[in-house]
A and B are shown apart, each in its own frame.
Chain A
Amino acid sequence: MTSDPLRTKLCDMLDIEYPIIAFTHCKDVVAAVVNAGGFAVLGEAMHSPDEIVADIKWIREKVGDKPYGIDLVLPSSVPPSDSLDKLKDDIPEEQRQFAERIIKEHDVPTPKAEVALHKWGGLNQDMARAQLDVVLEEKVPVFTSGLGNPAFILEAAHSRGIKVFGLVGRARQAKKELEAGIDAIIAQGTDAAGHTGPIGTFSLVPEVAAMAGDTPIIAAGGVTTGRHLAAAICLGAAGVWTGTLWLASRESDSDMIIKEKLLAATSDDTVYGRSVSGMPMRTLKCVWTDEWAKPDAPKTLPAPYQMLLSADYIQAANDHRREDLMFEAAGQGVGFVTEMKPARQIVFDLVEEALDVFDGITADADSAVPAGG
């Protein structure tokens, strides 16, 4: 074991103190984690190019020359038609009526604002492309692709000094991105929040690490403690990618109702299903997911139809801050998120606990007396 097991090749690549990456949608969390010696990536998938430019400027003012990342979602499949009106017309009556029944039985109010889905207007590649243009023009230190293979943008990014990380859920996705020359792979197991594949973190990370050579692998999915960090290093990762951990941090702009739900949740309180979007994703359980899981519920529809059904519910729950309806994406490690701490403290607690784990392993090994020794 090296003198500092947390000094990994990811630290060397990014010139950071700790191999901890915070994935967050909150700029304040980015600044706090980066300034604490970790690394942070701001999720910008739903932001306009102008908003991304503004966020990058803000982050630069807060962290100076320290590196940070921007995450986008690159679509990897697109249906041949995406007219919103046509899609809505195509929703089967059984599922439409079931959604209406949930709305009625749970007294879900009318959204206050226009439903975000209806004004976003982009189910195709144009949005991602425009966002990517900003990343390239602004020369952000690291671009991460939260979904989709960023190989096509590698040369353009590298020529501007931008490192590119790809998030994968299967070994074959990692292999393809490694062959293309990706700078780091985020191997995300099914324990993670939001969209995940079916393979567990404990299986996926070593499988990807075995094929990665010198390219850093970053473990994601269920990572919320220093023990997870230490385990990830032992599995062959050079760092961890963490999301749920920051949602209830003091800096997080998550609604206080969501923070309280996260702090109270255990690993039993997440659900992996298709009722929100038609695509598999892990969230906190809520009225919507519970209803669609009942035996008499109709089958969920594929994307984008299911998201058209859930959009009003989601918007209304958040607009009216209905505690009984609100939910958030959350990973299975949520049970370890029990205090609303400053992000800086979370970084230090992770590091301290991981180092304690490594010290414990070393002490155990030192105290073991070999037979005949």
Chain B
Amino acid sequence: MPDQRYDVRPGTDAAMAGKQAECDGGGAIAGTRFAGRQEFTGTLTGEYVDHGEPPWRWYLLTDLTAKPEGYAEDTVWCEQGSLYVVDEGRSRA
């Protein structure tokens, strides 16, 4: 995750690893004054980064089973407050 100005602290949350989750994602549309939403479903690895202070936590969602059509990546970073655990799954810890 590229960041220039703010401290980014990686970590692992074993309790989240292996859980299936949905992400009500999205963001600003660069170069315009618009924004948009994107939805993902996948499995949490438990890896996270805390961005800046107060910490803004982002979890890594992998093995995506639902993602925007044409989304080329297999992973997405999802903000904690927009993440919904839908299945406790199996812990990878």
- Residues of A whose CB lies within 8 Å of any CB of B are 25, 43, 45-46, 73-82, 90, 115-118, 120, 122-130, 146-153, 155-156, 169-170, 172-173, 176-177, 180, 194-197, 276-281, 299-305, 307, 311, 314-315, 329
Which residue in B3, B5, B29 is a CB contact (below 8 Å) of A307?
Answer: B29
How many Å from the CB of B70 to the closest CB on chain A? 5
CA distance A15 to B37 in the complex (A): 33
Contact between chains at A149 and B82 (CB < 8 Å): yes
Q: Note all chain A residues with C-beta closer than 8 A to B80.
A: 149, 151-152
Do B31 and A118 touch (CB < 8 A)?
A: yes
Q: When A76-B27, A125-B56, A303-B29 are in contact, do A149 and B37 touch as well, CB less than 8 Å? A: no
* Number of cross-chain contacts by CB at 8 Å: 187
Whether B35 pairs with A147 at a CB distance below 8 angstroms is yes
Which of these, B4, B23, B58, B68, contacts A303 with CB under 8 Å?
B68
Distance between A201 CB and nearest chain B CB, rounded to angstroms: 16
- Additional pairs, 8, CB under 8 Å, beyond known A80-B1, A304-B30: A25-B33, A75-B25, A79-B73, A125-B6, A148-B79, A195-B36, A279-B35, A302-B67
Quick check: A124 and B3 within 8 Å, CB to CB? Answer: yes
The reply to whether B27 and A77 contact each other, CB–CB distance below 8 Å, is yes
Give Cα A56–Cα B32 distance, bound, in whole angstroms: 21
Q: Are A77 and B77 neighbours in the complex by a CB distance under 8 Å?
A: yes
- Min distance, Cβ A118 to any Cβ of chain B, angstroms: 7
Could you tell me if A279 and B79 are in contact, using CB atoms closer than 8 angstroms?
Answer: no
CA of A180 to CA of B55, assembled, Å: 15
Taking the closest CB of chain A, its distance from the CB of B21, in whole angstroms, is: 12
B89: shortest Cβ distance to chain A, in Å? 19
Kindly provide the distance from the CB of B5 to the nearest chain A CB, expressed in whole angstroms: 5
Closest 5 pairs between A and B when the two form their complex, measured CB to CB: A279-B36, A77-B25, A117-B31, A149-B81, A75-B27
Which bracket fits the contact residues of B? 35 or more
The CA of A155 and the CA of B80, in the complex, are separated in Å by: 16
Name, among B24, B27, B33, B40, the residue most crowded by chain A CB atoms within 10 Å (CB to CB): B27
Q: Is the CB of A129 within 8 A of B51?
A: yes
For the complex formed, measure the closest distance between the CB of A92 and the CB atoms of chain B, giving whole angstroms: 8
Check if B73 sits within 8 Å of A77, measured CB to CB. Answer: no
Q: Which of B32, B37, B69 interacts with A169 by CB under 8 Å? A: B37
Q: Select A77's contact among B6, B30, B34, B82, beta carbons within 8 Å.
A: B82
In the complex, which of the residues B33, B56, B73, B78 contacts A81, with contact meaning CB atoms closer than 8 Å?
A: B73
Contacts of B5 in A (CB 8 A): 126, 129-130
Per-position contact with A for B31-63: 1 when CB-CB < 8 Å, else 0?
Answer: 111111110100000000001101111100000
Look across to chain A and name the residue whose beta carbon is closest to the beta carbon of B76.
Answer: A77
A96 to B39: give the CA distance in the assembly, Å. 25
**Residue of A at shortest CB range from B75?**
A80
* B84–A299 CB distance below 8 A: no
Given A78-B58, A126-B4, A176-B81 in contact, is the A147-B26 Cβ separation under 8 Å? yes
